[in-house]
Amino acid sequence: MRRSLALIGLLSLLPVGPAAAEPRLVFGSPSGVAEIPFQLYGNHIYVRGRVGDSDSLWIVLDTGASGASISASKASKLGLEVQSGGQAHGAGGVVESGTVRGATIRMPGLELQDQVLSTLPLDAIEVQTGRAMDVVVGHALFSRAVVEIDYAARLLRISDPGKFKPPSGATSLPLTFKQNLPYTKATIEVPGRKPIAGTFVLDSGAATALSLSPDLTEREKLLAAVPNTLRARAGGVGGQVETRIGRIDRLRLGPYAVERPVTTFRLPGPGGISAAGTAGNIGGDVLRRFDVTFHYGHQRMWLAPNAALGDPFEADMSGLVTQMLADSTHGMKVLWLQDGSPATEAGIAAGDVIEAVDGRSIAALTPVAVREMFRRPEQTYQLTVRRGDERREVKLTTRRLI
């Protein structure tokens, strides 16, 4: 069996073997509505839940996943029966995967029963984020319910489609579907060019704001149009790939203008962020600025801006490009540095390992928190840096690089 995914999702499942029971969604209340609080961590939507009678797990809701999946290591710990022989195509390449049949995913107020789960190597993502990602749920839920994501209130409202009433005052936009993933039309504006219209996948499982496909980047010569870009790394399942990041003037989504979003320009290489022929990926850093309601059955979404719509988008201001070490030290290894950046001026070099910030270990702070700290301008931090067997204290003051 072959599966495809991008970032943490874009998972496409094809039937294998004998027919199984039809997956179904069961609400715990006659009202047909479940309200579930969530945590927003690295722009990912995390809720507490279970698989079968397991202990509490972290479940990520991901519109960029065209099925449902479970961490391969978690499936093993839970003693789930896994059929091997599959592949998953992710943002960083191809990985082996398996299949679990007849699973029940439980969240407060609802159950997804007789579900097919793919097993994926999600532990590497956990290392990079500092938060377990046990289960990822996408089309398996969104195709059977109306899902409202109230980012401001950190609340999910999941409704039986037969009992749903469209939100008043919100803007309705049409959806199309490719590989069970939701796409909508949007327009980007870059300096000195006419607006560029395209079709974008809506991906709540992407931590980024906007990612543009390699085809669009090359065809429109976008790197020549954007005055300043930085080398970066992006990915998810399958590994990481080198990209460029910069800013476009704006993204127009329906009647809304999203100003100067930090944009990832994908380069040719393994993995993918959207279907062939589409423009790219609108991720969680844009979606979190709205109250978003998805109704896959009616091929519609509704948007209502929240107070975060006008917040500036920020990128790294340290000049460090890092990767978490998978060993027990939980340090951040420096892969490379941006030229002329605060990190370069502080004397940090590729291969150094950052072990602490302001006296607090990376493990205690979490990688996501450290990266958020480095997105704040004109902040001075004291870094504990290890080079070989030697440690030293380095002061670094952030400033905007794009």
Does 154 lie in the same domain as 15? yes
C-alpha distances out from residue 222 to 49, 234, 379, 402, Å: 42, 18, 31, 15
**What CATH number did the domain enclosing 387 receive?**
2.30.42.10
pLDDT at 363: 86
In a domain, 313, yes or no: no
Mean pLDDT over the full length of the chain: 90
**What's the predicted TM-score (pTM) here?**
0.90
Total domain count for the chain?
A: 3
C-alpha distances out from residue 89 to 8, 222, 336, Å: 11, 26, 27
pLDDT at 235: 56
Does 92 lie in the same domain as 227? no
DSSP strands (E only) in 139-261: 146-150, 155-159, 171-174, 176-178, 181-189, 196-202, 210-212, 230-236, 239-247, 250-253, 256-259
Does 140 lie in the same domain as 7? yes
Does 80 lie in the same domain as 109? yes
C-alpha distances out from residue 72 to 117, 120, 125, 168, Å: 10, 5, 12, 42
d(CA 169, CA 368) in angstroms, rounded, equals 34
Does 104 lie in the same domain as 10? yes
In a domain, 297, yes or no: yes
Q: Which of 109, 131, 163 is the last residue of a domain?
A: 163
pLDDT at 131: 87
Does 194 lie in the same domain as 214? yes
In a domain, 220, yes or no: yes
State the Rg of the chain over Cα. Answer: 21
* Opening angle at CA 114, ends 78 and 176, nearest 5: 115
Does 90 lie in the same domain as 21? yes
Q: Taking a C-beta distance cutoff of 8 angstroms, is the pair 200, 184 a contact?
A: yes
Q: Taking a C-beta distance cutoff of 8 angstroms, is the pair 191, 249 a contact?
A: yes
Q: Which of 131, 163, 195 is the last residue of a domain?
A: 163
pLDDT at 97: 83
Does 141 lie in the same domain as 14? yes
Does 184 lie in the same domain as 83? no
Question: pLDDT tens for residues 329-363?
Answer: 779 999 999 999 999 999 999 999 999 999 999 98
pLDDT at 400: 96
pLDDT at 4: 34
In total, the chain counts a number of residues equal to 402
Q: Which domain holds residue 13?
A: 2-163
In a domain, 194, yes or no: yes
Q: Of 24, 176, 174, give the one whose Cα is nearest residue 105.
A: 24
Weakly modelled stretches of the chain, pLDDT under 70? 1-20, 86-95, 234-240, 270-271, 328
d(CA 345, CA 398) in angstroms, rounded, equals 11
pLDDT at 237: 52
Does 210 lie in the same domain as 131? no
In a domain, 315, yes or no: no
Does 356 lie in the same domain as 277? no
What lies within 8 Å, CB to CB, of 224 at 6+ separation is none
Does 178 lie in the same domain as 92? no
